[in-house]
Amino acid sequence: MSDSALPDFAAYLAPGTFDGRVVAVTGGGTGLGLQIARGLASLGATVSIASRSTEHHAAFLDEARERGWKAESATIDVRESATVRAWADGIVERHGPVHILVNNAAGNFVCPSERLSDKAWRAVIGIALDGAFYCAREFGRRMIEGDGGQILNVLATYAWTGMPGVVHSAAAKAGMLAVTRTLAVEWAKHGVRVNAIAPGPFESDGAERNLWPDDAVRQHILANIPLGRFARAEEVAGQALFLLSPACDYVTGECMVMDGGAWLGKGFWPEGVRLERRK
């Protein structure tokens, strides 16, 4: 594959779609964040990824060097607003105004609510709500002072449906849905668009380790997805790229769901069963 080749999920957008755009992606070294970062870089953006682990940066930076993408990384903890501020300042100093922020960093694991410790609650809320807001605030300030920009928050459908075992993450994602819609209205006058995506289950090492650690759980989840399969991270990333592209310049405050129809449910009655009225 040549250095200029696009990842398959990015190829439906025109080459150079994000030329001249400077992008920050939290949690950009693994999973969905990595695929979004790859797509943006392959389409011309200068991409800075950030996470707490330097080891997570290697795959993206190695591919960027191989393909000639404009890329860099930073090791930060989004729960510490000072480090977020320093990351934002550094990007602006090196590359100019940031046009896009992708708020992807998160933490999650399944735990019954009555057994959830204070520390576990704070850890997830701190990353997925506090940290996401700190990033939106810091990059949003700079967008307001400049020529606008856009923010994409990564949520989950249980933000509005709820789901047993993830009260910490559901609360954080519900909070970010409120943040998304509030900032969309508040910052529209500054040319800042704020949207979200809500993926359902998708294939990743983290999800397999934390959310469906055995085949029985996996099959139970699959049984409740009308399309009958998990998404690929690349599929979700492709829709994120579309929402960030000029095709969606008139979209703000929206949350795009990509879960194979799972949050809609499968209905009350077994498929294929003929129901007879009681006499």
Q: Which positions are catalytic?
A: 158
Across the chain, the runs of DSSP E, i.e. the strands, are 22-26, 46-51, 70-75, 100-103, 149-154, 192-199, 202-203, 231-232, 255-258
Q: Which of 7, 25, 35, 31 is nearest to 204 (CA)?
A: 31
Burial 246-264 (b: 16+ CB within 10 A, else e): eeeeeebeebbbbbbebbe
Q: Which of 231, 215, 259 is nearest to 35 (CA)?
A: 231
Q: How far apart are CA 61 and CA 71, in angstroms?
A: 7
Q: How far apart are CA 206 and CA 104, in angstroms?
A: 14
Q: What is the dihedral of CA 163, 105, 17, 240, to 10 degrees?
A: 0
Angle between helices 31-42 and 233-244 (to 10 degrees): 50
End-to-end CA distance of the chain: 68
